[in-house]
Amino acid sequence: MTKFLLSILLLISASSFAQDSQVSVTEGETVDPLADLTVPESVTPIPQEESTPVSVAPIETPVPDSTSPVLTTETSLDGDEKPFNPLESHWVSIFGFEYLKYDVPFEFSGEKKSFSPEGQGMWGGRLGFGGELYLGLGLVTTTRIEGFYVGTLFSRVLNAGPNDEDVEFAYTKRNGNVWGVEATQTLGFIFDFKTKNPILDEWSYLTMEPFVEAGIGRAYAYNRINYDYDTGTTTNEGYRQRVRDDLTIVKFGGGINFTSSSGYFLYLKAFVNSFDIIERRIRTYTRPDQETDSLVKEKLKDVNIDPIMTYALGGGYKF
């Protein structure tokens, strides 16, 4: 009897526990045993950042195609432009100043003043452009086309002064010019030397180039003189002459260039011009004292004049 009562009590307890914890589960549904667990409000879950993997593409070095052109620049290691190299070929531009004495045929004998053939001093400039070719072993040759102009800078005028009260009018005036175009060829030898810059007080290297020069060309010359002397009573004389020359030029000379590391250069030279006058036209007016005046026009062919020495100073740029 006692065992029977114990069995009934156990059945009632098991039935009561099953009703309290009953969970309805449908067929095929999985029950999560942690589903009824709750997180206390005082505890904040720590979010975990998901790391996204970063893919790095490999750097590819382009390989130049042998069929496509490659652009290159001449620069030094520090990024500056490549210094001027005298042992290469270059384009050359020049400018300069020069002086010569051109022979003029002025000739007149007067009571107060006389004239005889002489050289008339002229100053002027020259511009040129061409190319320089480096031959090797320090030898360079340059071909240039040059244009030049020289002329009289000052004309001398003599007027009557307070000590010549008897002279009403007197003056002497000269003017002239020579201009033309030449083809010039030079041959030089270059070498470096060290010198001190007097302005920046530092040492630098220059290239020295002694050279010989030859050229041919065409030129034109115009020279004129006006002379008048009139006292109003005793002396009245005058002389005016105009000379036009059509010339061919053959020149030969030499000089020296000093070239900096940036391509700028200074030159000094002297050369002999052999002028061959193809045609000379002369117009002469003469009024001897107390005599009848006259006007003479002449045209002369193949006139010879002495060779003329020319001195020049200038500079330029090689690039």
State pLDDT tens for residues 226-275: 998 887 777 888 999 999 999 999 999 999 999 888 889 999 999 999 99
What confidence tens digit (pLDDT) does each residue in 58-67 have? 555 554 444 4
* pLDDT(218) > 50: yes
Helix (H) or strand (E) run with residue 302 in it: strand 294-304
Nearest of 189, 316, 186 to residue 259 by alpha carbon? 316
What confidence tens digit (pLDDT) does each residue in 38-73 have? 444 544 455 555 545 545 445 555 544 444 443 333
The whole-number pLDDT of residue 1 equals: 52
Phi-psi region of 2 (alpha: psi -120 to 50; beta: other; left: phi over 0): alpha
- Which are the contacts of 159, defined by CB distance < 8 A and separation ≥ 6? 170, 171
- Whether 319 contacts 90, CB under 8 Å: yes
Which position has the higher pLDDT, 234 or 303? 303
The whole-number pLDDT of residue 113 equals: 85
One-character DSSP codes across 166-191: T-SEEEEEEEEEEEEEEEEEEEEE-E
* pLDDT(198) > 80: no
Domains parsed from the chain with CATH numbers: 90-318 (2.40.160.20)
| Percentage with pLDDT > 90 across the chain | 46
Q: For 11, which DSSP code?
A: H
What confidence tens digit (pLDDT) does each residue in 100-127 have? 999 999 999 988 888 999 888 999 999 9
SS3 labels along 36-60: CCCCCCCCCCCCCCCCCCCCCCCCC
* pLDDT(311) > 80: yes
Can you list the alpha helix ranges (DSSP code H) found in the chain?
2-20
Phi-psi region of 19 (alpha: psi -120 to 50; beta: other; left: phi over 0): alpha
Tokens of 62: 């382009």
Model confidence at 74, pLDDT cuts 50, 70, 90, reads: very low
The whole-number pLDDT of residue 18 equals: 46
